[in-house]
């Protein structure tokens, strides 16, 4: 794990390298553009001088030979006529070079007369001193380098303060999280964090709350398991002791004691089976998510629920919407939740009454509801805690606890409430579609 100092150094180094690269890139583009624009203006200037000479002086040779000083003072150019023999007359071209005195010269050579008898070609050569322009370019280049250096220093200083601004909240979060254990889980004080880090703080607080609930329910599970197993064991022990103390125990009394032991063993088996089911549910959370059509998946489950309802002389119906919805989900966890909802609804619904399962898409949530016509629930109880059950229930009380664990693994929420009108309850699963693909 990197220390905060090394993280800061790496951050500053990476930011400096990135900004230096950008500065070099943009400085190169700027200098290239300025150099190109300057050279283009110089070329346009010397071309204008050539056009001026041809338009103003019909006899170029005479003007060049007699007006050298005037051209130098007025146009800052030197003009000469050069005649050379050549088989390949050249076109107008411009060259730049540095003379022996160290001056930068731009020279333009213009062919203007051919001598057919001698095979010679006459050229007008115009020269201008561009030393000042080159010096200006060099000054601009140095100014760009100087500004780039200053900008780099400013960036490094800003990066230093930026790293402090970013690392201080992280340091605060790290200190608070490092001091936490399962016995000292406390929410993070969001007021001590910058506004940019408050969404992260809220997310961590939600995670802490889930861990708190998980630890709480796990402890209740262990304590409840011990209690659920201890009670039938105590009954067995008491019944056996009473039977042994009776000297005139008959065969019927022994048979009754054994039958009571069998009932207690069955109760313990149900508790152990529920605990094993919880273990299997925990393993199901490691199932690889699949991309499925959740509507088609629910349709496949409906026939089994209909048969179960018919066997119990009850009615089961369903209304699924939309027609199709592709989601990425763990099917086994979804099955655990839906089966628990439907089985509980059928368990508490009297014969001849109905259970309805329906689904709908509401904004960013996919909602599944199971509505029964039973006796309703006691909303003052935490029915999702382990081993919490109603008086009418014959189960161990782990069904809703397992359903909630599965829902948390799916990043979903489940709820249980009474129907606003009439008898019965509504069990709901809300699955955010941010975790799905439509």
Please determine, for residue 98, whether its predicted confidence score (pLDDT) is greater than 50.
Answer: yes
Q: Confidence band (pLDDT; 50, 70, 90) for 429?
A: very high
- What is the arithmetic mean of pLDDT over 197-206? 78
Query: What pLDDT score does 397 carry?
Result: 64
Specify the range with the lowest mean pLDDT, choosing from 105-114, 130-139, 156-165, 373-382. Answer: 156-165
More confident residue, 352 or 88: 352
Name beta bridge partners: 328: 291
Please determine, for residue 430, whether its predicted confidence score (pLDDT) is greater than 60.
Answer: yes
Specify the range with the lowest mean pLDDT, choosing from 16-20, 48-52, 347-351. Answer: 16-20
Bridging pattern class, strands 315-319 and 354-362: parallel
More confident residue, 258 or 355: 355
pTM of the model: 0.48
Tell me how many degrees the CA angle 182-183-187 measures, rounded to the nearest 5.
80
- Omega cis (within 30) before 257: no
Query: What pLDDT score does 389 carry?
Result: 59
Query: What pLDDT score does 263 carry?
Result: 78
Give the separation between CA 116 and CA 31, rounded to whole angstroms: 47
What's the chain's average pLDDT?
80
Please determine, for residue 281, whether its predicted confidence score (pLDDT) is greater than 70.
Answer: no
Q: Confidence band (pLDDT; 50, 70, 90) for 184?
A: low
What is the per-residue DSSP string for 275-299?
A: HHHHHHHHHHTTSPPEEEEHHHHHH
Query: What pLDDT score does 380 carry?
Result: 77
Give the separation between CA 429 and CA 317, rounded to whole angstroms: 18
Q: What is the pLDDT of residues 363-378, one digit of tens each?
A: 889 999 999 998 888 8
Please determine, for residue 10, whether its predicted confidence score (pLDDT) is greater than 80.
Answer: no
- What is the arithmetic mean of pLDDT over 112-130? 80
Q: Can you tell me which residue has the tokens 């050249």?
A: 90
Query: What pLDDT score does 89 carry?
Result: 61
More confident residue, 430 or 266: 430
For the chain, first and last CA: distance in Å? 39
- What is the arithmetic mean of pLDDT over 268-281? 67
More confident residue, 221 or 332: 332
- Here the tokens at position 254 are 């022994």
Query: What pLDDT score does 286 carry?
Result: 57
Query: What pLDDT score does 436 carry?
Result: 44
More confident residue, 267 or 52: 52
Q: Residue 15: helix, strand or coil by DSSP?
A: helix
Q: Taking the CB of residue 50, how many other CB atoms lie within 10 A of it?
A: 19
Specify the range with the lowest mean pLDDT, choosing from 73-77, 258-262, 397-401. Answer: 397-401
Give the separation between CA 262 and CA 270, rounded to whole angstroms: 12
Query: What pLDDT score does 67 carry?
Result: 83
Give the separation between CA 52 and CA 48, rounded to whole angstroms: 6
Query: What pLDDT score does 1 carry?
Result: 41
Q: Can you tell me which residue has the tokens 């599965």?
A: 406
Length of the chain: 438
Query: What pLDDT score does 395 carry?
Result: 54
Percent of the chain with pLDDT over 90: 14
Q: Confidence band (pLDDT; 50, 70, 90) for 5?
A: low
Specify the range with the lowest mean pLDDT, choosing from 103-107, 258-262, 280-284. Answer: 280-284
- Here the tokens at position 339 are 């089966």
Specify the range with the lowest mean pLDDT, choosing from 130-144, 351-365, 393-407. Answer: 393-407
Specify the range with the lowest mean pLDDT, choosing from 92-96, 269-273, 287-291, 391-395. Answer: 391-395
Q: Are 406 and 336 in contact (CB under 8 A)?
A: yes
- Here the tokens at position 125 are 């050569």
Q: What is the pLDDT of residues 204-253, one digit of tens each?
A: 877 777 777 667 666 666 766 666 677 677 777 777 777 777 766 677 77
Q: Taking the CB of residue 33, how many other CB atoms lie within 10 A of it?
A: 10
- What is the arithmetic mean of pLDDT over 146-165? 80
Query: What pLDDT score does 30 carry?
Result: 87
CATH of 290-435, one of 3.40.1550.20, 3.90.220.20, 3.30.565.10, 3.40.1260.10: 3.30.565.10
Specify the range with the lowest mean pLDDT, choosing from 68-82, 299-313, 316-330, 349-363. Answer: 68-82
Query: What pLDDT score does 90 carry?
Result: 66
CB proximity list for 82: less than 8 A, separation 6 or greater: 122, 123, 125
């Amino acid at each position: 794990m990197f220390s905060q100092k090394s993280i800061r150094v790496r951050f500053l180094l990476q930011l400096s390298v990135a900004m230096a690269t950008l500065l070099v890139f943009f400085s190169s583009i700027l200098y290239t553009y300025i150099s190109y624009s300057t050279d283009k203006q110089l070329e346009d200037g010397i071309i204008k001088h050539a056009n001026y000479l041809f338009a103003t002086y019909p006899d170029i040779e005479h003007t060049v030979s007699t007006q050298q000083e005037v051209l130098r003072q007025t146009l800052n150019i030197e003009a000469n006529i050069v005649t050379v023999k050549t088989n390949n007359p050249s076109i107008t071209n411009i060259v730049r070079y540095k003379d022996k005195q160290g001056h930068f010269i731009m020279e333009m050579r213009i062919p203007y007369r051919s001598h057919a008898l001698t095979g010679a070609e006459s050229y007008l050569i115009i020269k201008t001193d561009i030393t000042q322009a080159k010096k200006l370019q060099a000054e601009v280049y140095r100014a760009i380098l100087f500004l780039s250096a200053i900008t780099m220093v400013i960036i490094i200083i800003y990066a230093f303060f930026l790293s402090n601004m970013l690392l201080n909240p992280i340091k605060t979060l790290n200190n608070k999280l490092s001091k936490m254990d399962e016995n000292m889980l406390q929410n993070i004080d969001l007021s001590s964090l910058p506004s940019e880090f408050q969404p992260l703080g809220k997310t961590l607080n939600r995670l802490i709350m889930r861990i708190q609930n998980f630890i709480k329910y796990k402890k209740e599970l262990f304590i409840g398991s011990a209690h659920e197993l201890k009670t039938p064991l105590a009954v067995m022990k008491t019944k056996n002791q009473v039977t042994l103390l009776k000297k005139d125990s008959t065969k019927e009394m022994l048979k009754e004691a054994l039958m009571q032991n069998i009932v207690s063993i069955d109760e313990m088996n149900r508790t152990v089976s529920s605990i094993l089911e919880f273990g299997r549910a925990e393993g199901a959370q490691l199932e690889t998510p699949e991309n499925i059509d959740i509507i088609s998946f629910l349709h496949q489950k409906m026939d089994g629920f209909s048969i179960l309802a018919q066997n119990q002389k009850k009615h089961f119906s369903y209304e699924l919407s939309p027609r199709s919805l592709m989601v990425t989900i763990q099917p086994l966890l979804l099955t655990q939740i839906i089966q628990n909802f439907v089985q509980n609804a059928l368990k508490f619904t009297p014969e001849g009454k109905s259970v309805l399962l329906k689904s709908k898409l509401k904004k960013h949530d996919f909602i599944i509801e199971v509505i029964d016509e039973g006796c309703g629930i006691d909303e003052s109880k935490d029915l999702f805690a382990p081993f919490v059950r109603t008086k009418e229930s014959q189960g161990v009380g782990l069904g809703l606890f397992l359903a909630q664990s599965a829902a948390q693994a799916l990043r979903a929420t489940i709820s249980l409430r009474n129907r606003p009108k009439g008898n019965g309850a509504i069990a709901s699963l809300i699955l955010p579609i941010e975790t799905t693909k439509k």
